[in-house]
Structure formats: C-alpha cells, structure tokens
Amino acid sequence: MITSTVPCSNANMVGKCRSTVLLFHKMESITNVMEYETIAKEKLPKMIYDYYASGAEDQWTLQENRNAFSRILFRPRILVDVRSIDTTTSVLGFKVSMPIMVAPTAMQKMAHSEGEYATARATSAAGTIMTLSSWATSSVEEVASTGPGIRFFQLYVYKDRNVVRQLVKRAERAGFKAIALTVDTPRLGRREADIKNRFVLPPHLTLKNFEGLDLGKMDKTYDSGLASYVAGQVDQSLSWKDVKWLQTITHLPILLKGVLTAEDARLAVESGAAGIIVSNHGARQLDYAPATVMALEEVVKAVQGRIPVFLDGGIRRGTDVFKALALGASGVFIGRPVVFSLAVDGEAGVRKVLQMLQDEFELTMALSGCRSIKEITRSHITAPWDSPRITPRL
C-alpha cells in the first residue's frame, strides 16, 4: 500500500490524507480497465462523470454494447507453438503496435488538466493511433506540439463550410494523417443525464479548435448546453454528396464513422471512403440501435474487402478486441476507458489502459492458437447468429 506524503498535522487535513491514501491504494490494485470508471466516478464532478458515462434515453444500447460481446464465444485451437506473439498491424498504411487505437472523445480537460496532451503522449508511447475530437479542449496545433505520433482528426460538419475548410486544412498542416467524418449526428441524441445536469463546458475551458472563430463556448440553458450548441452549429443537411465535397478540400483519407448497415457500407465504398468505423457513437445517439459488434459482420460482408472496417463501442477487454478482429474488423477504437483512466491518473492512466488491453489481447491470441493478426479467423469464434453446428457422433 502506498502511503500519502501530504502532511496530516491538523484535523481538517486528516480526511484529505485518508482520501489520498485510499486513491493511491485503489490505483495500485487496478487489474482491468473497467476499474478506472469506478474510481473516476468518485473523483469527477457529477455533471462531468455523467457526460462521459451516459448514453441516450433508456441506455439500452449502452448496456448492449458490452453485453453483446459476452454472447460471442471462442473456439480455441490447441497445440500451436505460441512462444512468439506478434500484435503489430497496419492501419491505412501506418504500422502500429496493436490493433487498438484511441477514439475521439470530446473535452478531455474536464477529466484532467492535461487532457488531450496526456492522451497524445500516452498513445504515441504505446505506438498506436490517437483520434482527436473536433470538440477537444486542445487544438490540433497543440496536440501536434506534444511530439511525434500517428494522429487522425474527427470532424463534425458545421453549417458554415468555411469553418470546416479551415479546420481540415489546419489538421493537414499539423500532420494529422486521416479524417474520421462523423456521419450519425445530424442532431444530438437525447442524453437525459446532460439535460438533468444542464450540462455545459466549464467556464475555464473552450472548444480550442473553434476558439478563434467565436465558436469555442457553450451557452448555459435549461436543457443540455451541448445539445443547444449542436442544434445551432452542426449541419443537419449532411448527405453523401458532402463526402464527395470533403474529398475536394483535402488529400487525407476519409473514414466514415457511424455506419451500422450493409446498405450504407456499400454507399460508403461507392463514395470513395478510405474506411468505415462501425459505431453507434458510444450509444449516445439512437437508443435501441444494435450493439456495434452485432452490426460488424454485416458491414464487413458488404464491403467485400474493398476498404478496411474498424469498430468502436463497448471494448473493455483484450478478448473483445480478438472477437472484433475474428468478425472481420481491421482494428478497434476505445473511448471511455481513455477518459476514465485519464481522470484517475493522467497520462500514466492512459498508458496503463493501453498496455493492459494489449497484454490481454496478446494472451487471448496465445490461448486461441494465433501467433499473428493474420491468423485470427472467423473459425476462432462462434456467434449467436451462426447456424447450429452438427455435433459429431462419438
């Protein structure tokens, strides 16, 4: 157990010292990424924790994003020499240490004072990819200044297309390698926790990418400040023609984030998208949409290998990563585990989350008889929608 170095010389300090000791003890004993959320809930103000943790309406999809993984079972192969396991892979031509990347998560300085700076450094140290949110509390230039790293930029399309054009060009100049265009948010989903809390960005923070455009603040309302902001700024008319338009203003590859059906997957290929992220926006948009892992194989089959398919939503274990890859994903993105570990232990927390997931994934590969990413196949899992297998007669 780690003891506190804070002096406890008076009664007012005793409670703080005990809390510090308890926090250190909890951090020291963390063995999986889900434990960070429990500690973060104790540490963060309610409005901020609820913003990160909650989903839309009844939150059925929020729970289903996790529960669906539990219904997919392994078919491990045995007597394979697994002394050497290689978790490296390639994403849009960039070599990464593992198929586990960081999803765009807004306003990270609400979780920790270093926010996106810490996440960028941790992700770079892990040898993988960070996706920066449009609504980050650090700008593309500031994140680029943290040092080398492979970074994508998540984009919302504003009504003012000059704002979009400027932002994309800034991301290019800052060295970002791809655009992840969010396509499932013409309006913000009904997030009842944000409504109850009257969520608004804390006054000492701004949406840094929009600070010079007078779009960096949210007004207080009797509703959700973010919902009001989105209604005022995000273009509800976004359509497939705008994917083509975006290609005319950038040379960067464009991933479409928010695809859940075969029909839209085929249209994504036809539109010239460089890849798809199967996503339900962390279950924060349309409740009773399918869990992303349930929609994944439909999308993979529709694209027929023409572009890579990635997944976000519900990833909490290395076993989840393996299951997604077995269903055809080229990689996964994690969101909430990043912000909760950031809230608890800053950069060190994010580093630990990425390392734990990589370690769990490597172990799953070994116990399934896979020595490299390319050896992970559909035959290594069985899913609820599979046809019943014929039991051999002994």
Domain limits, the chain: 33-382
Residues 162-215 have pLDDT tens digits of 999 999 999 999 999 999 999 999 999 999 999 999 999 999 999 999 987 777
Helices (H), the chain: 11-28, 34-43, 46-53, 60-70, 115-126, 140-144, 161-173, 192-197, 225-233, 240-249, 262-270, 292-303, 318-326, 336-368
Catalytic residue among 25, 204, 251, 281: 281
Does 191 count as an annotated binding residue?
yes
Exposure pattern of 257-267 as b/e (b: 16+ CB <10 Å)?
A: bbbbebebbeb
Does 117 count as an annotated binding residue?
no
131 closest CA partner among 92, 98, 95, 102: 102
CA distance 268 to 278: 12
Residues 97-143 have pLDDT tens digits of 999 999 999 999 999 999 999 999 999 999 999 999 999 999 999 99
DSSP 8-state assignment for residue 380: G
> What is the pTM (predicted TM-score) of this model?
0.91
* pLDDT at residue number 14: 54
Is residue 145 within 8 A of residue 214, CB to CB? The reply is no
For 33-382, CATH gives: 3.20.20.70
Annotated active-site residue 281? The verdict is yes
DSSP 8-state assignment for residue 271: T
Does 90 count as an annotated binding residue?
no
Does 222 count as an annotated binding residue?
no
Exposure pattern of 177-200 as b/e (b: 16+ CB <10 Å)?
A: bbbbbbbbbeebbebbbbeebebb
Does 334 count as an annotated binding residue?
no
Does 291 count as an annotated binding residue?
no
What are the pLDDT tens digits along the chain (394 aa)?
Answer: 333 334 455 655 555 555 555 565 577 789 999 999 999 999 999 999 999 999 999 999 999 999 999 999 999 999 999 999 999 999 999 999 999 999 999 999 999 999 999 999 999 999 999 999 999 999 999 999 999 999 999 999 999 999 999 999 999 999 999 999 999 999 999 999 999 999 999 999 999 999 877 776 777 776 777 878 888 888 899 999 999 999 999 999 999 999 999 999 999 999 999 999 999 999 999 999 999 999 999 999 999 999 999 999 999 999 999 999 999 999 999 999 999 999 999 999 999 999 999 999 999 999 999 999 999 999 999 999 897 765 556 5
What's the 3-state SS for 59-102? CHHHHHHHHHHHCCEECCCCCCCCCCCECCEEECCEEECCCEEE
Does 105 count as an annotated binding residue?
yes
